[in-house]
Amino acid sequence: MQNIEHLCAQTVTISKAIGNWIVTEREQFSLQSTEEKSFNNLVSYVDKSSEKRFTKELLALLPNSGILGEEGTSINLDADYIWIVDPLDGTTNFVHGIPAYCTSVALQYKKETILGVVYEPNSKECFYAWKDGGAYLNSKKIQVSSSKNLNQTLLATGFPYDDFDRMKNYLEVLQYFMQTTRGIRRIGAAALDLSYVACGRFDAFYEYALQPWDVAAGSFIVQEAGGKVSDFKNEDNFIFGTDIIASNATLHKVVQEKIFKLF
């Protein structure tokens, strides 16, 4: 196996360069540059150009690896090493000038995630982790919160934007947590939500109808920060499944059981 810590450091360098370019492009960005892949699912030339840059640089970093990217990149997916890339998580925020978006890169070896990097270029915050190496924010080691009771927690979620089949269930969960926690936030970028769980800003995050590139890096960072991640059934199908819960280990059962009951 490759030197994962070294790979992670190089991935951080690539992510920062591309993320900083994204911020520069936002200064001259026009809404006319936006397309709609599907209902409420936006994409711009910035997303596509970023994915091309990630593809080129990650394949150069790790020859013979594969790439799975949000904007359609699908290369060598039977390789041992597979990069899972969201070149711009939070595109709607980006398009509307809201400075809450990031790049997200994970690397899997034989289907096991071994590193994750999430870079938020507006705040210059880089969250990263490699297998058995812990989790970091700008070189400082991080860990999930130590909250034990729901009434002391701040939760994060995402609103469904095109899959409304479970809206009634979602609203029941939302109502319950609104009444039993300090509050719920919706940033609009799942990779950031997960990173904020990893460093203890949020105590838990849950959402459904996500894609692998939304969660692969952030969920791994949570795990390396001492947190627990599962799907709504409390199983491990949260990267290629349809839903995810991330929290500290103490709260996870309480949050998961309530969501599972209402969903």
3-state helix, strand, coil in the chain (%, to 5): 40, 30, 35
pTM recorded for the entire structure: 0.94
Nearest residue to 262 via CA among 200, 217, 208, 210: 208
- Summarised one tens digit per residue, pLDDT across range 150-200 is 999 999 999 877 777 788 899 999 999 999 999 999 999 999 999 999 999
- Assess contact for 33 and 45: CB atoms under 8 A: yes
In the chain, list all ranges with CATH 3.40.190.80: 150-262
In the chain, list all ranges with CATH 3.30.540.10: 4-142
Across the beta sheet with 183-185, the strand order is 183-185, 154-157, 204-208, 243-248, 227-230
- Summarised one tens digit per residue, pLDDT across range 203-236 is 999 999 899 999 999 999 999 999 999 999 999 9
**pLDDT mean across residues, the chain:** 93
Which top CATH class is 150-262? alpha beta
Q: How confident is the model at residue 40 (pLDDT cuts 50, 70, 90)?
A: very low
CATH fold for domain 4-142: Fructose-1,6-Bisphosphatase; Chain A, domain 1 (3.30.540)
Mean pLDDT of 132-146: 98
